[in-house]
Amino acid sequence: MTAPETGRGIGSAERAAEITTTFVGLPRDSFRILHVSTGNVCRSPITERLTRHFVKERLGVLGGGLIVESAGTWGHEGAPMESNAETVLADFGADAAGFTGRELLDEHVIRADLVLTATRDHRAQVISMGHSAGLRTFTLKEFTRLVNAIDPATLPTLEDGVVARARALVRAAAALRGWLLAPTVEADEVYDPYGAPLPFFRSVGDEIHQALDPVVTALTGVAARM
């Protein structure tokens, strides 16, 4: 993949201030999940569309205020998803239609209530953009590890709404971060399948599926169908 031009994805201080002002005062009746990888054509599209698919399986619809999207730190703006990524989604019965790649911008981070990245490097890049992103930005596998340690009984029920439950989940995970460290450096990474054959894409899809399952269960309060 080709490196980006200097400064792509990180706006000026003036632009960030403008965006922040734009979103101040918006109703807090939604919860936006942002998945981040490098090109936004492999890992984060798979993660975005699988999240949508699994939430629909649990709740019957992607609603209740949940919004799921993705972007790339070196995002291929307007590019289609890699064909092998589309095949992986089809394996899970998920919909790849209508996807186009996006470059990660300040406004994406500002609007996100939860940012889940493919790697620790992506996490660091998101946090470096500012916007108080540190407490709501995790690698996907890191968030899964933290979620698995949270007692579901301590979270709001679905009667309180998915948004309230999701916000409480992020707060609880952030509080645990310093206590539950990764067993190895590689444990929190989802490696890039860009340019790899389909079997490697499928192995990455399985990794993402395994990491997403407990996260979606925690978000919705509904376990996957056996």
Spatial distance between the Cα atoms of 64 and 129, rounded to a whole number of angstroms? 29
So what's the pLDDT on residue 223? Answer: 85
pLDDT digits (tens, 9 = 90+) for 189-216: 999 999 999 999 999 999 999 999 999 9
Task: Tally Cβ neighbours within 10 Å of residue 215.
Answer: 23
Give the Cα separation of 139 and 152 in Å (integer).
21
Q: Which residue stretches of the chain have pLDDT < 50? A: 1-27
What single DSSP character describes residue 137? E
What is the pLDDT, as a whole number, of residue 10? 40
Taking the whole predicted model, whether its pTM rises above 0.85 is answered as: yes
* Angstrom distance (rounded) from CA 8 to CA 55: 32
